[in-house]
């Protein structure tokens, strides 16, 4: 039986989030301590734990069929590789930072400056748009200390909360791009494994839709139901069920997580009472 090979990061937050996603897709991975390869017990899948920066080449060579990887790594090392799904976690940005004491007026200030980074291709492509040519110093590892030891005037690195920059007396001055985890696909994936990927994508999309939505139940007087329904289109339309108390109904619907509080305010203004909000594990359409 064919197995699809998926690469995930060896360690760290992306590793944890990737395995959690597979778990929510109903896939059980037989992990052992310090294993570099593991199989799923209930899905035709083999997991390879690899260095993040090596994954694009493994995809390109067809060593793995798919990978959960930071989009920033693909932009740097694999911009020819197809993204099958954006996964919505491990969000960050790739930014330029300078020491806090440096007066920064604009991107032209960086012309000729020494920039330490693990993302040389990304830096070159970004600055080319502005006709600015920095002096790029390639560093694999922690780049934040480069200005303090005199190795560089600025850095380019991934930023999440900004706490690492703060600890190293740096300030973010240019946001070059935003990134999140994505599901990337090898250009050499076989037809058989493409079919397995389609099944996996269906599960992933169901999980992601569930994460982005809330199931909302509320009570309302019958004369308010019509105005509430206009606020709540739901998946097709809201479910309306008569209550035992005459003149009242229960309304059930799905609300997008990002607009939830705005919708709740409108519901209250239109007569909804007793709102109950339930998380959705999966949403299969």
DSSP string computed for 159-199: ESSSHHHHHTTEEEEEEEEEE-EEEEE-TT--HHHHHHHHH
284 assigned to some structural domain: no
pTM of the model: 0.85
Instruction: Please give the pLDDT value at position 31.
Output: 72
Residue 234 has pLDDT above 60, yes or no: no
* Domain end call among 179, 200, 232: 179
Q: Within 10 Å of residue 114's Cβ, how many Cβ atoms? A: 17
Both 146 and 184 in one domain: the answer is no
Instruction: Please give the pLDDT value at position 170.
Output: 95
Both 77 and 189 in one domain: the answer is yes
Q: Which helix (H) or strand (E) holds 126?
A: helix 120-128
Both 16 and 55 in one domain: the answer is yes
Task: Compute the mean pLDDT over every residue in the chain, rounded to the nearest whole number.
Answer: 92
Catalogue the long-range contacts made by 107-112 (C-beta closer than 8 Å, 24 or more residues apart): 107/132, 107/174, 108/132, 110/134, 110/154, 110/174
The CA distance from 20 to 111, in Å, is: 43
Q: Tens digit of pLDDT for each residue in 40-62?
A: 999 999 999 999 889 999 999 99
Instruction: Please give the pLDDT value at position 162.
Output: 85
Task: Give whole-number Cα distances, 68 to 38, 115, 265, in Å.
Answer: 15, 29, 37
Residue 70 has pLDDT above 70, yes or no: yes
User: Averaged over 124-135, what is the pLDDT?
Assistant: 94
Q: Which helix (H) or strand (E) holds 77?
A: helix 71-77
> What is the CATH number for 163?
3.40.190.10
Q: Tens digit of pLDDT for each residue in 130-141?
A: 999 999 999 987
* Domain end call among 210, 225, 259: 210
155 assigned to some structural domain: yes
Q: 15 and 9 in contact (C-beta within 8 Å)?
A: yes
Instruction: Please give the pLDDT value at position 79.
Output: 83
Instruction: Please give the pLDDT value at position 233.
Output: 61
Q: Which domain holds residue 99?
A: 92-179
* Domain end call among 156, 190, 210: 210
Q: Tens digit of pLDDT for each residue in 174-218?
A: 999 999 999 999 999 999 999 999 999 999 999 999 999 999 999
Token digits for 217?
Answer: 């139940």
Q: What is the DSSP letter of 40?
A: B
Instruction: Please give the pLDDT value at position 236.
Output: 67
Residue 97 has pLDDT above 80, yes or no: yes
- Read off the pLDDT band of 106 (50, 70, 90): very high
């Amino acid at each position: 039986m064919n197995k699809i090979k998926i690469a995930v990061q060896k360690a760290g937050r992306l590793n944890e989030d990737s395995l959690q996603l597979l778990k929510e897709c109903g896939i059980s991975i037989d992990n052992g301590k310090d294993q570099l390869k593991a199989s799923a017990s209930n899905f035709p899948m083999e997991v390879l734990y690899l260095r993040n920066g090596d994954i694009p080449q493994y995809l390109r060579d067809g060593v793995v069929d798919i990978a959960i990887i930071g989009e920033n790594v693909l932009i740097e090392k694999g911009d020819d590789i197809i993204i099958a799904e954006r996964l919505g976690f491990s969000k960050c940005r790739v930014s330029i930072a300078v020491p806090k004491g440096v007066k920064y007026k604009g991107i032209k200030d960086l012309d000729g400056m020494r920039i330490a980074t693990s993302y040389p291709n990304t830096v070159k492509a970004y600055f080319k748009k502005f006709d600015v040519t920095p002096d790029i110093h390639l560093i694999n590892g922690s780049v934040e200390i480069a200005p303090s030891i005199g190795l560089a005037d600025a850095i380019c690195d991934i930023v999440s909360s900004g706490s690492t920059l703060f600890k190293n007396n740096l300030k973010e001055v240019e946001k070059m791009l935003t990134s999140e985890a994505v599901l990337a696909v090898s250009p050499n994936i076989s037809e058989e494994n493409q079919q397995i990927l389609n099944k996996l994508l269906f599960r992933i999309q169901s999980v992601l839709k569930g994460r982005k939505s809330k199931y909302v139940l509320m009570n309302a007087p019958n004369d308010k139901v019509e105005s509430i329904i206009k606020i709540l289109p739901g998946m097709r339309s809201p479910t309306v069920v008569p209550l035992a108390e005459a003149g009242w109904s229960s309304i059930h619907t799905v609300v997008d997580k990002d607009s939830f509080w705005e919708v709740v305010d409108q519901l209250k203004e239109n007569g909804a009472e007793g709102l109950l909000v339930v998380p959705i594990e999966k949403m299969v359409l």
